[in-house]
Chains A and B, each alone.
Chain A
Amino acid sequence: MQASRARLFKEYKEVQREKIADPDIQLVCDDSNIFKWTALIKGPSETPYEGGIFQLAFAVPEQYPLQPPQVRFLTKIFHPNVHFKTGEICLDILKNAWSPAWTLQSVCRAIIALMAHPEPDSPLNCDSGNLLRSGDIRGYQSMARMYTRLAAMPKKG
């Protein structure tokens, strides 16, 4: 408990310094609870998520960083490895490939990389996974773009 708190506090300070360094990620710690974080990440360019801002929610366990944080999308996203309803993410480093040397910041970076490179073979969103696996890239992209417009972009007017 003490160790995880100390480590999160260090990450917090690091985040303040890095804010300018990485404009794609904005990590925010909950005011009253250092184990709850949110992040805003920019959809990577040249992907159907480009132009969208996606919100992630982090729940950090007491055994952190020996145990990985739980992360999910709060913003709706059409992606093979993200559960469409719950926002749950299928990413190995959040499970068995976790290393205590990862940080919340580097997890965000890994999620941005996942958005650019979906893994259709371990789908949490079957519709999206099937489109990609059947080679219907345009079908996948137009669906993903539509949801990016609907859910991840500021409403006009």
Chain B
Amino acid sequence: MDENDLNSDHVNSDTTVDDDDADCYYDFFIKGDDPMDPEDAKSHQGSGQKYTILNQADMRKRQEDVIAEVSTVLSVSGATATILLRHFNWSVGNVHEAWFADEDDVRKRVGLLDYDKQLSDVNAGDRASCGICFDVYPRDRIFSVGCGHPFCRECWGGYIRSAINNGPGCLTLRCPDPSCSAAADRDVIDMLALSDDDKKKYSQYLLRSYVEENKKIKWCPGPDCEYAVEFDGGGGGEDSWDVSCLCYYSFCWNCLEDSHRPVDCQTVSSWLSKNTDESETKIWILARTKPCPRCQKSIEKNGGCMHMTCNPPCRYEFCWICLGDWYNHGTCNRYNEAADVEADKNREDAEKYVTKYTHYYDRWAANHSSRQKAIADMQRVQSMQIRRLIETQGKAGYELLFITDAWEQIIGCRQVLKWTYAYGYYLPENEHTKRRLFEFLQGEAEKGLERLHECAELELNQFLVDYGRPSEGFREFEVKLKGLTMVTRKYFEKLVRALENGLSEVQVSGSEEIGQNIPMTSAEG
């Protein structure tokens, strides 16, 4: 029995795979300590307790909570607390610290006047002239934010609207007098804004500020998603930053890229910038170009002929092979070893480098698009196939959850597999044992995932046909798909952990040894 035998048939033919079998099957590849009960794995992986998905109402609630807290502790109005929190990035701790260290300084910085000494004396008299429209109004039509600079209510309304239309800067609105820094807080907005629409926009900016300036909350970067994610755990190191939003988008909370276990954020950033980096194409060109012997600009060989003509304005004509002047050189069979070896070495290196990069990039990209397709497929499965199966197989919806489980698993695994290609690219060339082992594990992961993907995608189809009664093989199909899902999940979990540990905890010394183990597992099956 050889390796292929196992990988193509072992699990497929064994439709009664259960937890124990799966464990020993994969333990031969990766021995990681696995304190996790397999039943908990999904909740740990999916909706762990380290982060919370927030909808608009949750965010508002949290925002109001911190405002209320600061307001109570400092005995200031909610609007004042809001100004303070916004200034200190919504950190209650920082507000308290700064306030109790030097209240006057904080007041000055955010434009809060001492409201006890309000305008009473500033604008004595029962009429005042508005500083914007210059009209004279009775006192009750005039308003000032405590500094005494009088503006009529209409002008305030226009001033507020124009600030709100100019963007989030309206959150730090000040008295219109250019020399005055008194803050116009949200009570002022509520009282003087011209329309509910203006108030709504203002409160939306306020909410956005809460999310965007808060160190613990970030918007989900998923397309059109309106959820935000609060991260409670420390993250980094042993912990994963992975977050899975209610919109089904999963991403790294730390760097906001797609989830990228087993590689770290730094690797992701180098890999992604490499993918867009022009220098990669420059190297590609290097392998197919030579510098013009006169002007040194590189020129690309585009035809079979060795007669090269440099681009204008140089227009130098030379021989591609020996780089000699075309009209003075007759033949070029004289071998200039030194020059040639040097030039060829550079090109060879470049070519090798490009080939390596292309190898990993192609597979990274292939898994990326395969995952995109799986996401689309899963939506189709949920919207159509499940309903169809309920009819043809006479099952209840909850009895068919194993199918969506399988698809979720496929989508997650594609993501992991995709990033193992970036992992492989950066794995040092000279760590031969690790590289061999890595490639073996990656290969196994790939085969396992293909099996699952195929089963979910193709084998399901036969049960969609309505024969008027449940199909005989459906129970077997269910057992098999459940088994494959579970086996693949566990394998990938271990793979991720092994790669994250730099393959250091893998209990085998090389792929030969693993290879020897395979017939043994196979024999069990």
Which A positions have Cβ atoms within 8 angstroms of B?
Answer: 3, 6-7, 10-11, 14, 63, 65-67, 93, 96-97, 99-102
How distant is A82 from chain B, measured CB to nearest CB, in Å? 22
Q: Is the CB of B131 within 8 A of A101?
A: yes
Q: Which chain B residue shows the least CB distance to A3?
A: B133
Q: In the complex, A101 Cα to B161 Cα: how many Å?
A: 16
How distant is A6 from chain B, measured CB to nearest CB, in Å? 7
Q: Is the CB of B159 within 8 A of A100?
A: yes
Q: Is the CB of B158 within 8 A of A66?
A: yes
Tell whether B132 is near chain A: CB-to-CB under 8 Å. yes
Residues of chain B with a CB closer than 8 A to A10's CB: 133-135
Residues of chain B with a CB closer than 8 A to A14's CB: 134
Which of the residues A63, A65, A93 comes within 8 Å of B132, measured between beta carbons?
A: A65
4 smallest CB-CB distances across A and B, nearest first, come from A66-B162, A99-B178, A10-B134, A100-B132
Residues of chain A with a CB closer than 8 A to B178's CB: 93, 97, 99, 101-102
Q: Which chain B residue shows the least CB distance to A98?
A: B178
Given A99-B177, A101-B176: A3 and B134 within 8 A (CB)?
A: no
Residues of chain B with a CB closer than 8 A to A3's CB: 133, 154, 158
Given A67-B162, A100-B159: A7 and B177 within 8 A (CB)?
A: no
Q: Is the CB of A7 within 8 A of B133?
A: yes
Q: Is the CB of A7 within 8 A of B162?
A: no
Which B positions have Cβ atoms within 8 angstroms of A?
Answer: 131-135, 149, 154-155, 158-159, 161-162, 169, 176-178
Q: In the complex, A97 Cα to B135 Cα: how many Å?
A: 24
Q: Is the CB of A101 within 8 A of B162?
A: no
* Other 12 A-B pairs with CB < 8 A, given A3-B158, A7-B132, A10-B135: A3-B133, A7-B133, A14-B134, A66-B162, A67-B162, A93-B178, A99-B177, A100-B131, A100-B158, A100-B176, A101-B176, A101-B178
Q: In the complex, A3 Cα to B194 Cα: how many Å?
A: 15
Residues of chain B with a CB closer than 8 A to A63's CB: 162
Residues of chain A with a CB closer than 8 A to B162's CB: 63, 66-67
Residues of chain B with a CB closer than 8 A to A65's CB: 132
Q: Which chain A residue shows the least CB distance to B178?
A: A99
Q: In the complex, A151 Cα to B133 Cα: how many Å?
A: 37
Residues of chain A with a CB closer than 8 A to B132's CB: 7, 65, 100-101
Q: Which chain A residue shows the least CB distance to B162?
A: A66
Q: In the complex, A6 Cα to B176 Cα: how many Å?
A: 19
Q: Is the CB of B155 within 8 A of A100?
A: yes
The main secondary structure of chain B at its interface with chain A is loop
Which of the residues A6, A67, A97 comes within 8 Å of B133, measured between beta carbons?
A: A6
Q: Is the CB of A99 within 8 A of B158?
A: no
A-B contact pairs, 23 of them (CB 8 A): A3-B133, A3-B154, A6-B133, A7-B132, A7-B133, A10-B133, A11-B134, A14-B134, A63-B162, A65-B132, A66-B158, A66-B159, A97-B178, A99-B176, A99-B177, A100-B132, A100-B155, A100-B159, A100-B176, A101-B132, A101-B176, A101-B178, A102-B178
Q: Is the CB of B133 within 8 A of A101?
A: no
Q: Which chain B residue shows the least CB distance to A11?
A: B134
Residues of chain A with a CB closer than 8 A to B154's CB: 3
How distant is A69 from chain B, measured CB to nearest CB, in Å? 14
How distant is A73 from chain B, measured CB to nearest CB, in Å? 22
Residues of chain A with a CB closer than 8 A to B176's CB: 99-101
Q: Which chain A residue shows the least CB distance to B154?
A: A3
Among B135, B158, B169, B178, the most chain A Cβ lie within 10 Å of the Cβ of B178
Q: Which chain A residue shows the least CB distance to B177?
A: A101
Q: In the complex, A65 Cα to B149 Cα: how many Å?
A: 17
How distant is A13 from chain B, measured CB to nearest CB, in Å? 9
Residues of chain A with a CB closer than 8 A to B161's CB: 66
Among A6, A7, A66, A101, the most chain B Cβ lie within 10 Å of the Cβ of A101
Residues of chain A with a CB closer than 8 A to B135's CB: 6, 10
Residues of chain A with a CB closer than 8 A to B131's CB: 100-101
Residues of chain A with a CB closer than 8 A to B177's CB: 99, 101
Residues of chain B with a CB closer than 8 A to A67's CB: 162
Among B134, B154, B158, the most chain A Cβ lie within 10 Å of the Cβ of B134
Q: In the complex, A102 Cα to B178 Cα: how many Å?
A: 7
Q: In the complex, A11 Cα to B131 Cα: how many Å?
A: 12
How distant is A106 from chain B, measured CB to nearest CB, in Å? 8
How distant is A64 from chain B, measured CB to nearest CB, in Å? 10
How distant is A45 from chain B, measured CB to nearest CB, in Å? 25
Q: Is the CB of A7 within 8 A of B158?
A: no
Q: In the complex, A109 Cα to B177 Cα: how many Å?
A: 16
Residues of chain A with a CB closer than 8 A to B169's CB: 96
How distant is B178 from chain A, measured CB to nearest CB, in Å? 4
Residues of chain B with a CB closer than 8 A to A100's CB: 131-132, 155, 158-159, 176
Q: In the complex, A27 Cα to B159 Cα: how many Å?
A: 26
Q: In the complex, A66 Cα to B133 Cα: how many Å?
A: 10
Q: Which chain A residue shows the least CB distance to B174?
A: A99
Residues of chain B with a CB closer than 8 A to A101's CB: 131-132, 149, 176-178
Q: In the complex, A10 Cα to B393 Cα: how many Å?
A: 83
Q: In the complex, A93 Cα to B177 Cα: how many Å?
A: 12
Residues of chain B with a CB closer than 8 A to A11's CB: 134
Q: In the complex, A148 Cα to B210 Cα: how many Å?
A: 53
Residues of chain A with a CB closer than 8 A to B133's CB: 3, 6-7, 10
Q: Which chain A residue shows the least CB distance to B161?
A: A66
How distant is B497 from chain A, measured CB to nearest CB, in Å? 52
How distant is A114 from chain B, measured CB to nearest CB, in Å? 15
Q: Which chain A residue shows the least CB distance to B160?
A: A66
How distant is B166 from chain A, measured CB to nearest CB, in Å? 8
Q: In the complex, A99 Cα to B131 Cα: how many Å?
A: 10
Residues of chain B with a CB closer than 8 A to A96's CB: 169
Q: In the complex, A14 Cα to B129 Cα: how many Å?
A: 14
Q: Which chain B residue shows the least CB distance to A102?
A: B178
Q: In the complex, A14 Cα to B133 Cα: how many Å?
A: 13
